[in-house]
Structure 1
Amino acid sequence: MKIPLRHYLSLLGITTAAFVFNTSEFMPIALLTDIAGSFSMTTAETGGMITIYAWVVAVLSLPLMLLTCRMELKRLMLLVVAVFSVGQLLSGIATSYPMLLAARIVVACAHAIFWSIAAPLAAQLVTHEHRPMALGMIVTGSSVAMIFGLPIGRMIGLYAGWRMTFLIIAGIALAALLYLAYMLPQRKQDKPFSAHDLPQLLRNPALSCIYVMTALFATAYFTAYSYIEPFLHEIASFSPTLITVALMAIGACGILASLLFTHGYGRHRFLLLRFVLPCVFAALLLFQAASISMFTMLLLCMFVGMVATLYNILFQAELLGLVMGPGSTVAMSIYSGIFNIGIGSGTWIGSLAAGHGHLAHIGYIGAAIAAITVFFCWHIYLPTIQGKRY
Structure 2
Amino acid sequence: MKRPGLPASLWALLAGNFVIGTGVMVVPGTLNELSTSLQVSAATAGQLITAAAAVVCFGAPLLAAVVAGWDRRLLLACTMLWYAAGHLAATLMPSFGGLVAVRMLTVISPAIFTPQAAACVGLLVPLEQRGRAVTFVFLGWSMASVLGLPLGTLIGGHFGWRTAFVAIAVLSVLSAVWIWRQLPTGIRPPALTRAAWAQVLRSPLLMGVVAVTALQGSGQFVLFSYFAPVLRETVGADATSLGLVWGWFGVCGLLGNMLVSRSIDRVGAPRMVLVTTSLIALSLLLWPLGVTLAGLALILVPWGLGCFATNSAQQARLVSMAPALAPGSVALNSSGIYVGQAVGAAAGGWLLAHDAIAWMSWAGFAMLVCALLLSLAVDRAQARSAAFSA
TM range (shorter): over 0.9
TM-score, normalized by length of structure 1? 0.93
Q: Are the equivalent residues in 1 in contact too, given 2:119–2:189 (CA < 8 A)?
A: no
Q: Are the equivalent residues in 1 in contact too, given 2:116–2:327 (CA < 8 A)?
A: yes
> 1:360 maps to what in 2?
358
> 1:180 maps to what in 2?
179
In 1, the alpha carbon distance for the partners of 2:148 and 2:16 equals 12
> 1:117 maps to what in 2?
116
The one-letter amino acid of 1:328's match is A
In 2, the alpha carbon distance for the partners of 1:159 and 1:239 equals 10
Unaligned runs of 5+ in 1: none
> 1:51 maps to what in 2?
50
Q: Is it true that 1:384 corresponds to 2:381 in the alignment? A: yes
Q: Are the equivalent residues in 1 in contact too, given 2:77–2:175 (CA < 8 A)?
A: no
The one-letter amino acid of 1:342's match is G
> 1:294 maps to what in 2?
293
CA displacement at 1:352 relative to structure 2:
0.5
> 1:89 maps to what in 2?
88
Q: Is it true that 1:371 corresponds to 2:363 in the alignment? A: no
CA displacement at 1:271 relative to structure 2:
4.1
> 2:247 maps to what in 1?
248
Identity fraction in percent: 23
> 1:333 maps to what in 2?
331
In 1, the alpha carbon distance for the partners of 2:140 and 2:18 equals 4
> Would the alpha carbon gap of residues 84 and 195 (structure 1) be closer, same or farther in structure 2, given more than 3 Å must change?
farther
> 2:277 maps to what in 1?
277
Q: Are the equivalent residues in 1 in contact too, given 2:59–2:108 (CA < 8 A)?
A: yes
The one-letter amino acid of 2:320's match is G
CA displacement at 1:107 relative to structure 2:
1.4
Q: Is it true that 1:320 corresponds to 2:304 in the alignment? A: no
Report the 3-state secondary structure (helix = DSSP H, G, I; strand = E; otherwise coil) of the residue aligned with 2:257.
helix
Q: Are the equivalent residues in 2 in contact too, given 1:74–1:186 (CA < 8 A)?
A: yes
Q: Are the equivalent residues in 2 in contact too, given 1:254–1:309 (CA < 8 A)?
A: yes
How many pairs were matched up? 383
> 2:169 maps to what in 1?
170
Q: Is it true that 1:10 corresponds to 2:9 in the alignment? A: yes
Q: Are the equivalent residues in 2 in contact too, given 1:92–1:167 (CA < 8 A)?
A: yes
CA displacement at 1:276 relative to structure 2:
2.7
In 2, the alpha carbon distance for the partners of 1:22 and 1:240 equals 20
Residues 135-189 of structure 1 show CA distances to partners (whole Å, capped at 9, x for unaligned) of: 2322221111111111111111122211011111111111111121122102443
Residues 342-370 of structure 1 show CA distances to partners (whole Å, capped at 9, x for unaligned) of: 10000000000000001122101111111
Q: Are the equivalent residues in 2 in contact too, given 1:288–1:361 (CA < 8 A)?
A: no
Unaligned runs of 5+ in 2: none
> Would the alpha carbon gap of residues 273 and 38 (structure 1) be closer, same or farther in structure 2, given more than 3 Å must change?
closer
Q: Is it true that 1:128 corresponds to 2:127 in the alignment? A: yes
For residues 79-228 of structure 1, the aligned pairs below 5 Å read 79-189=78-188, 191-228=190-227
Residues 15-70 of structure 1 show CA distances to partners (whole Å, capped at 9, x for unaligned) of: 11111110000101011111111111111111111110001111211111111112
Report the 3-state secondary structure (helix = DSSP H, G, I; strand = E; otherwise coil) of the residue aligned with 1:185.
coil
Report the 3-state secondary structure (helix = DSSP H, G, I; strand = E; otherwise coil) of the residue aligned with 2:7.
helix
TM-score, normalized by length of structure 2? 0.93
CA displacement at 1:190 relative to structure 2:
5.8
Q: Are the equivalent residues in 1 in contact too, given 2:146–2:246 (CA < 8 A)?
A: yes
Report the 3-state secondary structure (helix = DSSP H, G, I; strand = E; otherwise coil) of the residue aligned with 1:286.
helix
The one-letter amino acid of 1:330's match is G
In 2, the alpha carbon distance for the partners of 1:357 and 1:96 equals 26
> Would the alpha carbon gap of residues 67 and 261 (structure 1) be closer, same or farther in structure 2, given more than 3 Å must change?
same
Q: Are the equivalent residues in 2 in contact too, given 1:250–1:303 (CA < 8 A)?
A: no
CA displacement at 1:311 relative to structure 2:
1.3
In 1, the alpha carbon distance for the partners of 2:187 and 2:170 equals 29
For residues 61-72 of structure 1, the aligned pairs below 5 Å read 61-72=60-71
In 1, the alpha carbon distance for the partners of 2:8 and 2:188 equals 21
Q: Are the equivalent residues in 1 in contact too, given 2:218–2:342 (CA < 8 A)?
A: yes
The one-letter amino acid of 1:285's match is L
The one-letter amino acid of 1:349's match is A
Residues 317-356 of structure 1 show CA distances to partners (whole Å, capped at 9, x for unaligned) of: 001112223x322211111112111100000000000000
The one-letter amino acid of 1:21's match is I
TM superposition outliers: structure 1 runs of 4+ over 6 Å: none
In 1, the alpha carbon distance for the partners of 2:131 and 2:320 equals 11
> 1:29 maps to what in 2?
28
Residues 234-273 of structure 1 show CA distances to partners (whole Å, capped at 9, x for unaligned) of: 1133343221111111111111112211222122225434
